[in-house]
Structure formats: C-alpha cells, structure tokens
Chain A
Amino acid sequence: MDNIQKNLLMQIADLHSVPEGAYNIRANGELGGRNTTANIDIVTKQDKPGIDIIIKPNTKNESVHIPVIISKTGVEDLVYNDFYIGENADVTIVAGCGIHNTGDSKSEHDGIHTFHVGKNAKVVYVEKHYGDGDGNGENVMNPTTVIEIDEGGYLEMETTQIKGIDSTVRVTNAILANDAKLVIREKIMTHGTQLAKTDFTVDLNGENSSANVISRSVAKDKSHQIFLSNIKGNNKCAGHTECDSIIMDDATVSAIPEITANHIDASLIHEAAIGKIAGEQLIKLMTLGLTEQQAEEQIVNGFLK
C-alpha cells in the first residue's frame, strides 16, 4: 500500500496500518487485503461485485473494517456489501470510502450496504466519506444503506462526510420490527460547488420500535444540500427526525422532513432549522481574542464535532 492509500485509510477509518480483527480492504476496485476471524466470515459474492459479511450469533466486542480506497483517476466502482449480524451479537462495523483523484476523469464509488440485524443484536456502524486530490476529475459517492432490524435489535449509524466529495446522493432505508431501535447521526460539510443529498426513509413497523435521525450540516461557498427524511409510524412507536444546518457564503440548503403516522399510538416529531452563524456568537469568541475567521472555524468545528 502506498502513502496516498495509507492517508486515505487514516482519513476514513482512523487506521495507520491494517486493522485488528476482521477486515476487507478494497483498493481501486480490487481486493487489497482480507482477514477473517472465528466469528466473522467475509465471502466474495459470486453473482455481482461485493462481499457478504457473516457475523455469528453471540459474537461480542468484535469489529469489522471494510474500507474502500480509490487513488486512481477514472475508476468507477460499484459494490454490494451484505451484513448478516447474528442474534445477540454486539459488534462495531467501520466502513468508509476515500478517493484521491489527481486526474481529469471522474472517480466514483457507489456502495450498496444491506444490514440484516438479528434478534437482540447490537451494531454500531461508522461510515466516513472523504475525497482529496487536486485534479479536475470529480469525486462522486452514492452510498445506499438498507437496514432491517429484527426484534429487540439495535443499530446506531454514524455517517460523516466532511471534505472533498463533489457529488453525493445518500439513500438510507430502514425497517424495524418489535422493540427494535435505530439511531442515525449524520454530519456533512460541503464546499465549492458540491452537492449533497440525503434521503432517509424509516418504517417503524414493530410495536415499541423507535428511530432517531439527526443530521447536522454546514454548507459553504456555492454548495447545495438537500435533506429528506420520512419516518413512518406503522405501529405503537416513537420517531424523531432533526435537521440542523449552518449556511454560509452563497450556499443553499433545503430541509424536507416528513413524518407519517399510520397508527393511533405512533408518536412522531420532526424539527428542522437552517441559519447562518449568529453575529453574537462571532462577537463573543472575538472578545476572547479570536479573529473573525478563527471564531467561525471554532463554531463550525464544534457544530460538527
């Protein structure tokens, strides 16, 4: 692995070398390394590009890393990754994609991740998207996440895109059974002329299921963001969706939260707020000795922390 690939790996997965435990590294559309453990198997799909990650029931405190790195220009990569998380397992899954594009051609990675979370299983899923490179070629990522949580299961998804992705359409669809719980935390920062669209749909089908979808974003320069979220309460359930955006420069942001109650005992809330950094926040930090620019950075970094 060269230094560019190592840097991408660090940006998306905080990894300085190959991770401990199970992993599958995909580099420029090809297998760059794999390790399986007694409880976690990774199998290459035969019918289409991608892998199956099979986690045995009762697997505790293990992790799987499946980073994707693209360091060549003009690579267009599409993968299907399916996660089968056995009953009562408690695992952390770290995905993420880094593109380093110094050429003039578009580099694109579209990942379709499907999670089958077994009964009473607990999953923390961390996903980071990052791009760099000074070429004119676009960095494009269109992740699709499909989540099915069985009875009493729990999935927490942290998805972050801070820098360098020119265009992204992020689609997440979740279906929850009885007593299942889903928490999604999204953080996005766009700059330049970037486009980021996120689209969450959650079906709360099970009794006492719950979902909390929280998005925080900062839109700079001439970038454009669209936030769509639809939580459907189809049973006795609780749903909450919240979108909070800081808008700067000539950026534009649309927040379109939607909640649908199809059951008398569905309790659903949506909140959305878009605004620039308050002048008094800047002034307060300037009275502590920061310049206006430093104050702005502190506020943005804190907001996305």
Chain B
Amino acid sequence: MLELQNISFIVPTEDGGQKAILNDVSVKIDDRFVAITGPNGGGKSTLAKIIAGIYTPTSGKILFDGVDITNKNITERANMGISFAFQQPVRFKGLTVRDLITLAAGKQISVSEACTYLSEVGLCARDYIDREVNASLSGGELKRIEIAMIMARGTKLSVFDEPEAGIDLWSFNNLIRVFEKMHEQTNGSILIISHQERILNIADKILVVANGEVTKYGNKEDILPSLLRGETSSVCSKAAN
C-alpha cells in the first residue's frame, strides 16, 4: 500500500543552521489500521503532510501501491486515493457543509447520502447540512465535519492528524465508535496520528515517531504495553483531556 523509503525533511533554522524534522524514515504500511504516536514535535504531522503531498521531502522516496508518488502534487495524490484530515480544520466563508461533502465525494450526491456521513460522526445532519463552514462552527464540530469528508471520499488511504484533538469527552466515545466502524468497514488503510490509548487500542499496528525517527513499529500487542508502562511519555491513559 504505502512505503516510505529513507524520508528526510530538513529545514533551515533561525541561526543559519539546519534541523532534521524527519531523519531517514523508512516504513511500510499494509495493515488496515495503523496508529502513529510519539511526543509532540517528534515529526508525526510532518510525516502525514509528506504523505499527502503538502510538504516535499528533502530526500527519500514515497511509493503508493508500488508507484513512485514522490513528485506528485497534492491533487494528483488525492485523485490516486489518498485522503488527509487536518488537525486544525479550515474554515470557509460561503461554502456550506453540503458543498464540502459533495466536493469530497467527487460527484453530486443526494442530501440523504450527505446526511448519512454527518450522522456517522454524531452530527444531527438536518441542523448542519446547509450551514456555512465558517467561524460559527465550534472546533469540535469542524473536526467531525472533517472526518465526515474523509468518509465521503472513501479512498484507499485515509490519513487523520489527531482527530481527537479539540473533541469533548462525550463526543470522544462516539469518535472511538466511528473509528472502530471504519476499521471494520474500510477497503483500504487508515493511518491515524493519536495520543489516545483507546484509539491506539483499535490499531493493528503502532508506529512510534520521536525526534524525527521511527523508534518502534510493530503489532499493537507488542508495542502498546510498553507505551503504557511509560517507556514513551507521550501517551495519555485517560480518554480525553
């Protein structure tokens, strides 16, 4: 499905030097549900953005279903079957929830279809479908709409950057159910950046990224216990903050 070969991402620093956000990352993702975790600032979001084509790696290669996509732009990758849910969803003056879900689906869909996706993420569809995706929506509402858009796309690879961030405790339980269901139903792979034990617990595999490198990668059963013992300080054991 997705293979990263020796990916590095180096940025200039203020003092004229260089900093490696990612350093020679190689990983192969074939499972239905892979969680990426690790300390803040460790390079997880950068890795997700490199997969989506938002950042171009300084060196290394990205293969998607065996095809080298390193030089493909965001649009090309989206059309090849990569979806990306932002950690901080974007607001649009004038575009409605229905507009965005329709664009995500890539075709005209009925109102009831659009509503189905919203209901899946716990939003009362009737109240939201014609609302503008502007500052009147809360952070939690936007996050759920963001997830609904990824569901509407239904692509081979769905990348989520901390979907739980900004979601309240009550919604969090629903969110877990959403991802459990996605795990059951997906025809592709889900790659999810998370700090939450309950999301890591759904994963088939866990990838730990710290200091720009892959420090652990393996089956959940092997990785999660060591994380919970505090060997990596980044994972919360409580459901939500």
A: residues with CB less than 8 A from B are 216, 244, 278, 280-281, 283-292, 298-299, 301-305
- A289 and B79 form a contact (CB under 8 A): yes
- Identify which of B82, B90, B103, B153 contacts A290 (C-beta below 8 A): B103
A278 to chain B, nearest CB (A): 7
Most A CB contacts (10 A, CB to CB) among B74, B89, B100, B149 go to B74
- Identify which of B74, B78, B83, B93 contacts A302 (C-beta below 8 A): B93
Give the number of A-B contacts (CB < 8 Å): 59
- B106 and A289 form a contact (CB under 8 A): yes
- A283 and B95 form a contact (CB under 8 A): no
- B95 and A288 form a contact (CB under 8 A): no
When C-beta atoms are compared, the residue in chain A nearest to B84 turns out to be A287
When C-beta atoms are compared, the residue in chain B nearest to A299 turns out to be B92
Task: Tell me, in angstroms, the Cα distance from A298 to B96 when the chains sit together.
Answer: 11
- B99 and A280 form a contact (CB under 8 A): no
When C-beta atoms are compared, the residue in chain A nearest to B153 turns out to be A288
B21 on interface, CB distance cutoff 8 Å: no
Task: Tell me, in angstroms, the Cα distance from A305 to B132 when the chains sit together.
Answer: 11
B: residues with CB less than 8 A from A are 52, 54, 73-75, 78-79, 82-84, 86, 89-90, 92-96, 99-100, 103-104, 106, 149, 153
Task: Tell me, in angstroms, the Cα distance from A291 to B83 when the chains sit together.
Answer: 15
- B95 and A302 form a contact (CB under 8 A): yes
When C-beta atoms are compared, the residue in chain A nearest to B99 turns out to be A302
Task: Tell me, in angstroms, the Cα distance from A301 to B89 when the chains sit together.
Answer: 20
- Identify which of A278, A291, A304 contacts B75 (C-beta below 8 A): A291
What are the 10 closest A-B residue pairs judged by CB atoms, nearest first? A302-B94, A302-B95, A286-B74, A289-B78, A303-B94, A284-B90, A287-B84, A289-B79, A286-B75, A280-B90
- Identify which of B78, B89, B93 contacts A286 (C-beta below 8 A): B78
Contacts of A303 in B (CB 8 A): 93-94
Contacts of A299 in B (CB 8 A): 92, 94-95
- A288 and B104 form a contact (CB under 8 A): yes
Q: List 25 A-B contacts (CB under 8 A).
A: A216-B93, A278-B90, A280-B86, A281-B90, A283-B54, A283-B90, A284-B86, A286-B73, A287-B82, A287-B84, A288-B78, A288-B100, A288-B104, A288-B106, A289-B75, A289-B153, A290-B103, A298-B99, A299-B92, A299-B95, A302-B94, A302-B95, A302-B96, A303-B93, A305-B94
B54 to chain A, nearest CB (A): 6
Most B CB contacts (10 A, CB to CB) among A278, A285, A299, A304 go to A285
Contacts of A280 in B (CB 8 A): 86, 90
Contacts of B106 in A (CB 8 A): 288-289
Task: Tell me, in angstroms, the Cα distance from A290 to B99 when the chains sit together.
Answer: 13
Contacts of B99 in A (CB 8 A): 298, 302
Contacts of A287 in B (CB 8 A): 52, 54, 74, 78, 82-84
- A288 and B93 form a contact (CB under 8 A): no
Task: Tell me, in angstroms, the Cα distance from A283 to B75 when the chains sit together.
Answer: 9
Task: Tell me, in angstroms, the Cα distance from A34 to B237 when the chains sit together.
Answer: 76
Contacts of B83 in A (CB 8 A): 287
Task: Tell me, in angstroms, the Cα distance from A280 to B161 when the chains sit together.
Answer: 15
- A288 and B92 form a contact (CB under 8 A): no
Contacts of A291 in B (CB 8 A): 75
Contacts of B95 in A (CB 8 A): 298-299, 302
